[in-house]
Structure 1
Amino acid sequence: MTPLPLVFVVVGDRSYALSETLHRDALAPLFSDVWTASRVWDASRFLAERLVRFSSPESPLAFDVRAGQPVLELGSGCGLAGLVASSLVADVLLTDQAEALELLRRNVETNATSESMRARVDVAEFRWGSEDLLPRSSYRYILVSDCINPIYGPESWRNLARTIHRFSHGDTVTYLAHEVRGEDEAMADFLAFCADKLLCECIDREGQMSLFRITKIVEEVTMSVDAVLK
């Protein structure tokens, strides 16, 4: 089988060699699940660059990935953001639909060059909104890039919101990179759907790219003194 060409992406002080396409016999029609996973989208580069920036001690926006901090990437595609997080010594689970896992595993194998990095990164199938189990019930950080797109339809990004909520605890931070397209009705619908479940703050913009910091809204439970004593 003919080797696939690689795209080299420089993030921070490291270059990542990524396959963008599947072999011809595995390619799917335009805009299918596999096709959307088989590109290094601009939003994933944008997110990866911000992760490196946020990991600096001088950054006011923290991406504190001390060894053992669990990171979940949803809709990993080619896996760039997750691989960057892994290079920063995070324990990362890269997830996508079954059709995209061949590409994702290939990129992990190419870029996880040290034994320690290979031990920190794993790949799993996961569909947003499903009740499927993952190794953890919650994660310190969740990464998402270019997963809110009109071609997917509302149920897709609403399931994404449900999944972010499911795997978040009080300290979880989700970084979601988004490319504005047209009137951006898709993002407007996502934000409206999240309103009572997730706090979504736009923390960075560059051209058509936006970065959102998302945290779970934790309902305060108030109890009277009498109730506590009982």
Structure 2
Amino acid sequence: MKPATVVSQGRLRGKNIKNMATEQHRQRPIYDSDENEDHDSTTLIRWNNFDFCGFSLKIARMMDPRLGISSYIWDAGISLCQYFEKEDVTFTGKKVIELGSGTGIVGILAALLGGHVTITDKPDTLKQINSNISINVPFACRHRLKVRPLTWGEDQTKFPTDYDFILGSDIVYSSVCYPALLETLRYLCNQGTTIYLSSELRTGNGSIPFHDVILPDYFNCEVVTRLEPKCIAVYKLTKIGTGHVRRVCGPLSLLAPKKKKENPQSYPSGGFERVMPGSRGPPFGRF
């Protein structure tokens, strides 16, 4: 498996669509103030370059407080892109949706690999995603990309249920979100859907029981690759058939927020234990 690399400016590979994608950012400086002309002039933009599957990607990260953790590139996302490269995954002609996209790096790669991709996240993040699409995806291919807002547990019914693939990287990080995430996955998934979740398994946030206890009640789950020592695993999931009898154990109750008795002031959520954004790190993009 070839590691993700920060590539030098102007280092381009591939032919046809690959050259079209990379040509658009050739000779651009690492920081170009013109890139944020559609955003607040005070917004700082940082860049990271990657090589995956023969494509050179230049990813913009907008240092906007409203984006929070969405302005970083997380190791789990890099690991999922590396998995697609290692396994020679293709999405040609397939219908794909990405959840919690952040910078859009995974969904963009899926589109360059031939997929008809819907990239989703909360509304404040969509400008960052659209910016990265304009930099990395040739105009002739952009008809295969859609960018739409999606709040788990609220908006999923506005989307179709015939996706071939559902992608998510480091979206299993806060137990507060797990019921809504599970509801969204179950709605979007059909019997022919393959889900790839790349997760950094952290102690104290319920991510391990979510993968090992909750998801197997609804999906066939398989770990297809691990990255040590960062405790990152890529899971491949498919929907369990209608004849499957679920265990009656109420596992989601184990992941519900718990009262913090000793020092509630330390939790801005009002005394509930949850994973704060800083505990996800360190992200790849923070350097």
| TM more than 0.5 | yes
CA distance in 2, matches of 1:212, 1:183: 20
User: What SS does the aligned partner of 1:5 have?
Assistant: strand
1:40 deviation in Å? 1.1
Percent of pairs with identical residues: 23
Structure 1 residue aligned with 2:119: 94
CA distance in 2, matches of 1:162, 1:138: 16
Structure 2 residue aligned with 1:214: 237
Gaps of 5+ in 1: 29-33, 57-62, 222-230
CA distance in 1, matches of 2:206, 2:241: 27
Q: TM-score, normalised by structure 2?
A: 0.65
Q: For the structure 1 residues 173 and 132, does the alpha-carbon distance in structure 2 shift closer, same or farther, using more than 3 Å as the test?
A: closer
CA distance in 1, matches of 2:147, 2:155: 18
The answer to whether the 8 Å contact 1:158/1:190 transfers is no
State the Cα RMSD in Å: 2.1
1:192 deviation in Å? 2.1
Q: TM-score, normalised by structure 1?
A: 0.80
Structure 1 residues 107-162: Cα deviation after superposition (integer angstroms, max 9, x where no partner): 111111241x211111000011114444522310000001111xx3x231221122
Residue 69 of structure 2 is aligned to residue 36 of structure 1? yes
Alignment of 1:1-230 (within 5 A): 2=33, 3=35, 4-22=45-63, 26-28=64-66, 34-54=67-87, 56=88, 63-67=89-93, 69-115=94-140, 117-149=141-173, 152=174, 154-182=175-203, 185-207=206-228, 208=230, 209-220=232-243
Gaps of 5+ in 2: 1-31, 36-44, 245-287
Structure 1 residues 146-203: Cα deviation after superposition (integer angstroms, max 9, x where no partner): 1111xx3x23122112211111111100000011223663231344222321222212
The answer to whether the 8 Å contact 1:148/1:187 transfers is no
1:81 deviation in Å? 0.9
User: What SS does the aligned partner of 1:103 have?
Assistant: helix
Greater Rg by CA: 2
